[in-house]
Amino acid sequence: MRLLSTALCTTVAVALLAGCSGMSPGTSGPSAAGQTQSQFDSHGKFVPHWSYPASLIPKGQIGLRGDTLRTKPAPDAKKRAGAGGIYGSQFFAGLIAGYPHKNTSNGPPTCTLGASYPNGIAVDGKGNLIDPDGGTRTVIVYAGPGMCGSEIGSISDGYGQPSDASSANAATGEIAVGNIFGTSGAGGISLCSISAGCTSFLTNSNMYEVAGVAMANNGDCWASATNSLGTATLTYFAGCTGAGVAATGWQNTYYGGLDIDANGNLVAIDAFTPALRVYSGCNPACSLVSGPFPLQNDAVFGHLNKQSMTFAAGDYVNGAIDVYYYSPTSLTYWYSFNNGLGVSDDVEGAAYNPRSRQ
């Protein structure tokens, strides 16, 4: 792993970084030389933190639009792609791959989309795919409800580097975009739409490095982050506006992806523990419904299926998508698939199409 100075940090793989700034869970900040510091958790487990500088991105990759790398599915695969499935994103491969809903046979992708250093990915309530594209600093929306649809629009995020996104309808409505770091330092939530672009940036002192974001159908939103001391936080924004307020009762030890299940519970990944917790409320008082449930390996992002009966997580340790049986009070490992994925490509996001009904 490469530890780089803050001056070189431009595009950040969330799963493999706790801060270009040098701030990371369990550390007190950058060293005197300005280098980021690796660290070990309380159990002696190494938590990897590193970044990828623009100077090392292959020539021609910066500014690459997702649609320029799209590959056409085979005729039989196109039919399967129309039925929905599971998306997986790969940061270094610059690729989003679509798979069948049940891929227990470890089959190949049914379709693929090109991207430029994607972190978390999401499907909205209409089946559209949202790619918070770290390399191009854009938010790209692809048409649903089928898999790997045509591009609806692309939004430039001038507030920072997109890491995650959530929306009820990304084609016509507002998109909450989590930015790992903002242009002035601390991360936040960009509020964007295809029609108006990114028009505002939500920040809070509890949010320094932002990983996951979730937006409820009523417009409320949350950000999973670490503060400047490396402490895991959850910040609640009523109506996805205002200054936000720190959620109480939050028990996660690291940041991680967020989702909302069919019962309205907030489902939160504890990235490097690794575990999953289920909360109710968090507006701003959280009540722990269940967990922590252990995950197979470290993962930052993951999402539920339509019925909130299965949960898929991007397992960057094994370069796979791990699938679990889910209920608000239980999580049981089911299977993994890795056909077309790779450990060195950094598997980051996983999202079902259709998504949880919330």
pTM over 0.85: no
Alpha-carbon separation of residue 327 from 109, 286, 309, 355 (angstroms): 27, 18, 6, 15
Torsion over CA of 123, 128, 134 and 139, rounded to 10 degrees? -130
What single-letter amino acid sits at 13? Answer: A
| Largest Cα–Cα separation, the chain | 58
In 3D space, the residue among 247, 306, 295 whose CA is nearest the CA of residue 272 turns out to be 295
For the stretch 102-108, contacts whose Cβ atoms lie closer than 8 Å and that sit 24 or more positions apart, written own/partner, are: 103/321, 103/323, 103/335, 103/337, 103/339, 104/334, 104/335, 104/337, 106/337, 106/338, 106/339, 107/337, 107/339, 108/339, 108/340
Residue ranges and CATH numbers for the domains of the chain are 66-353 (2.130.10.10)
Q: What is the pLDDT along the chain (358 residues), one digit of tens a residue?
A: 112 223 224 566 665 443 333 333 333 322 222 223 333 333 333 333 323 333 333 333 333 333 333 334 444 444 445 679 999 999 999 999 999 999 999 999 999 999 999 999 999 999 999 999 999 999 999 999 999 999 999 999 999 999 999 999 999 999 999 999 999 899 999 999 999 999 999 999 999 999 999 999 999 999 999 999 999 999 999 999 999 999 999 999 999 999 999 999 999 999 999 999 999 999 999 999 999 999 999 999 999 999 999 999 999 999 999 999 999 999 999 999 999 999 999 999 999 999 999 9
Tokens for 97? 């791959």
- Give the rounded distance of the alpha carbon of 129 from its chain centre: 13
> What is the rounded distance in angstroms from the CA atom of residue 28 to the CA atom of residue 90?
30
